[in-house]
Amino acid sequence: MSEQIASSHSGAVLAARNISKSFAGVQALKDACLELKAGEVHALIGENGAGKSTLIKIITGAVQADSGEITLKGQTIVDHSPRVAKGLGIAAIYQQPALFPELTVAENIALGLEQAKLWLRINWGRRRRRAADLLARVGAKIDPDCEASELSMPQQQLVEIARALGANARVLIMDEPTASLSEEDTQNLFAVIRQLRAEGTGIIYVSHRLEELSIIADRVTVLRDGRTIDSRPMSGMNRQQLIQLMVGRELSAVFPKKSAEVGKVALELRNLCCSQTGIRDVNVTVRAGEIVGVAGLVGAGRTELARTIFGLTPADQGEILVRGELIEISSPRRAVECGIAYVPEDRRRHGVIPELPISANIALASLDRLSSSLGMDFKRETEIAADYTRRLAIKTPAIFAPVATLSGGNQQKVALSRWLATRPSVLILDEPTQGIDVAAKAEIHGLMSELAAQGVAILMISSELPEILGMSDRITVMYGGTIVGSFGRTEATQEKILALALGHRELGDHYRFSGTQNDSLQA
């Protein structure tokens, strides 16, 4: 491991100084700085595109900086790579789980932890035991011998966390670790983080869930447009101040749901069941101009319900009515014909095709309308793409740029545009603002209000209670594959929703949460 002694020493366990990086001419980081002390949880926040992920990747050696230096305990790291980072005790949980689908959980954990000793024999028993120990520490009930491909998204996230724990790292970086975790798993994670902090680990914590930060973070560094804007103690910072630092301006309201005129029933589900995915007896109506929020814990069957409505896992019992007409939805194609659109949760994998240009991505669900017997109407495709790029304020130099070059929020706008271009009467949004920055979030919320006002019926799945409460006209709560309760806009509270989502049916009206969590949710 090649290290040099650097002259300056600030007492920080890890310091990134004046880091600059540009990708193909786009400046991602400009003189960004970050100082992490041992035994602190250091929140790193900023809008999407602010450079958080790039900074993290530079710290872990996955990306090389153009200029600037990273020091660990005052020593400058040279020739940085993920391998070097591992040797130095820098571990990371990336936003997208980086697991090997074909390998077992135990091996996935081991590969992240063991220095690759290429010619030594592997001790399978020890790998298995360590995996079981680490998984138990994060409270995950996952068999170390099962293949990673069999895990759900939250389970994959838990395996990543377990792997990072096992690194016994001096510096642990977590990029949106709670993005797909249930409330219970999140609490487990926080307990683990507190324990690591007590043991002296420095933790960089990236999250868009600002309410989490006041619970778990000690200090916060704000990035904006690739620069470090501020770094200060977390105590005394409130949500409003954080948002202000991130966007550089005051946001009047993060969730601007305007009331819209409610029309006829656009989507009605009657006793919908899908045995394959565990959906049972779901009854929901969504009227034109209405946003119905679907709350629930991860695994409650919300995404599965959306997939059933959209024909990905067709229902085996019950009825679906669109605009009062009984229809059989056997495939997504049929769903699209009936005017249903579905913007899925996993944006990069299912929402957009990253390699394709923005124009082709937007046109993808409307190819029938854009083609004639003579072939594709590319002029029309370009017009439509340009139109949505303008209307949704997609920030890009050109509509022919690959979607992969956009930030998360703009990718999500492309995913939305694709389905708006089909002019749906029913729009199903699955975690529409997950992992995107506050400003893009507000824009998407504004767009949802506008669509509702135009008479689109929206079914919105979300794990963020403030979003559910702010955006929904009505709220339904799912638990165990079915709907366990519904509220009107005025009667819903976070406590009631959470109680139902946790399965405490009888406590629904007076369930209370203790201490910090409750406070933070109101922040």
Partner 1 sequence: MIRYKRELAAAVAYAVLLVVVAVTAPGFFSAGNLRDLAVNNAPVLLIAIGMTIVILVGQIDISVGSQFAVASVAAGWLAKTGVPISMLLPSVLLIGAAMGAVNGFLVGRLGLPSIIVTLAMLVAWRDGLRWVTQGAWVQDLPPNFQWFGLGQTVAQWLIVVSALTMLVIFGWMLRNVGAGRAVYAVGSDGEAARLAGIEPRQVISGVFVLMGALVGLAALLNAVRFSNVPANSGLGLELKAIAAVVVGGTEITGGRGRLVGTLIGVALLGTIGTALTFVGINPFWEKAIQGVIILGALMSDAVLGRVGRLRMAEKTL
* Nearest alpha-carbon partner for 260 in 466, 392, 456: 456
Query: Using CB under 8 A, which of 86, 130, 170, 197 touches partner 1?
Result: 86
Question: Which residue, 122 or 398, has its beta carbon nearer to partner 1?
Answer: 122
Tokens of 416: 């939305």
Rule CB under 8 A: say whether 346 interacts with partner 1.
yes
Q: How far is CA 196 from the centre of its chain?
A: 24
DSSP code of residue 441: H
CB 297 within 8 A of CB 183: yes
CB 180 within 8 A of CB 153: yes
What minimum distance in Å lies between the beta carbon of 60 and partner 1? 8
Q: Helix, strand or coil for residue 108? A: helix
Phi, psi for 126 (deg, rounded to 5): -65, -40
What minimum distance in Å lies between the beta carbon of 59 and partner 1? 13
Q: Of the listed pieces 108-116, 193-201, 384-392, 454-462, which binds partner 1 according to CB under 8 A?
A: 108-116
Phi, psi for 175 (deg, rounded to 5): -100, 105
What minimum distance in Å lies between the beta carbon of 147 and partner 1? 7
What minimum distance in Å lies between the beta carbon of 111 and partner 1? 5
Give CA–CA dist 50/54, Å, rounded.
9
Q: 444-465 as b/e, with b when 16 or more CB fall inside 10 Å?
A: bbbbbbebbeebbbbbbbbbbb
Q: Helix, strand or coil for residue 282? A: strand
Query: Using CB under 8 A, which of 116, 235, 512, 514 touches partner 1?
Result: 116
CB 422 within 8 A of CB 63: no
Question: Which residue, 354 or 470, has its beta carbon nearer to partner 1?
Answer: 354
Give CA–CA dist 70/35, Å, rounded.
10
Rule CB under 8 A: say whether 307 interacts with partner 1.
yes
Question: Which residue, 141 or 249, has its beta carbon nearer to partner 1?
Answer: 141
Question: Which residue, 69 or 346, has its beta carbon nearer to partner 1?
Answer: 346
What minimum distance in Å lies between the beta carbon of 499 and partner 1? 28
Give CA–CA dist 450/289, Å, rounded.
9
Site for partner 1 in 128-167 (CB under 8 A): 147-153, 156
Which residue's structure tokens are 């990718």? 411
Question: Which residue, 148 or 477, has its beta carbon nearer to partner 1?
Answer: 148
* Nearest alpha-carbon partner for 469 in 513, 440, 437, 501: 501
Rule CB under 8 A: say whether 311 interacts with partner 1.
no
Q: What single letter denotes the amino acid at residue 11?
A: G
Query: Using CB under 8 A, which of 6, 62, 254, 521 touches partner 1?
Result: 62
Rule CB under 8 A: say whether 117 interacts with partner 1.
yes
Rule CB under 8 A: say whether 3 interacts with partner 1.
no
Give CA–CA dist 83/28, Å, rounded.
24
Rule CB under 8 A: say whether 43 interacts with partner 1.
no
Question: Which residue, 117 or 249, has its beta carbon nearer to partner 1?
Answer: 117
Q: How far apart are the first and last CA of the chain?
A: 46
Query: Using CB under 8 A, which of 344, 408, 424, 508 touches partner 1?
Result: 344
What minimum distance in Å lies between the beta carbon of 348 and partner 1? 10
Question: Which residue, 124 or 400, has its beta carbon nearer to partner 1?
Answer: 124
Rule CB under 8 A: say whether 60 interacts with partner 1.
yes
Q: Helix, strand or coil for residue 444? A: helix
Question: Which residue, 187 or 277, has its beta carbon nearer to partner 1?
Answer: 277
What minimum distance in Å lies between the beta carbon of 107 and partner 1? 7
Question: Which residue, 68 or 344, has its beta carbon nearer to partner 1?
Answer: 344
Phi, psi for 186 (deg, rounded to 5): -65, -45
Q: What single letter denotes the amino acid at residue 261?
A: E
* Nearest alpha-carbon partner for 203 in 169, 180, 234, 179: 169
Q: Of the listed pieces 41-49, 116-124, 168-176, 432-440, which binds partner 1 according to CB under 8 A?
A: 116-124
Question: Which residue, 3 or 346, has its beta carbon nearer to partner 1?
Answer: 346
- Are β-strands 202-206 and 171-175 bridged in parallel, bridged antiparallel, or unpaired? parallel
Rule CB under 8 A: say whether 312 interacts with partner 1.
yes
What minimum distance in Å lies between the beta carbon of 314 and partner 1? 14
Rule CB under 8 A: say whether 179 interacts with partner 1.
no
Binding site residues, partner 1, CB under 8 A: 60, 62, 82-83, 85-87, 92, 94, 98-103, 107, 111-112, 114-122, 124, 147-153, 156, 303, 307, 312, 344-346, 349-350
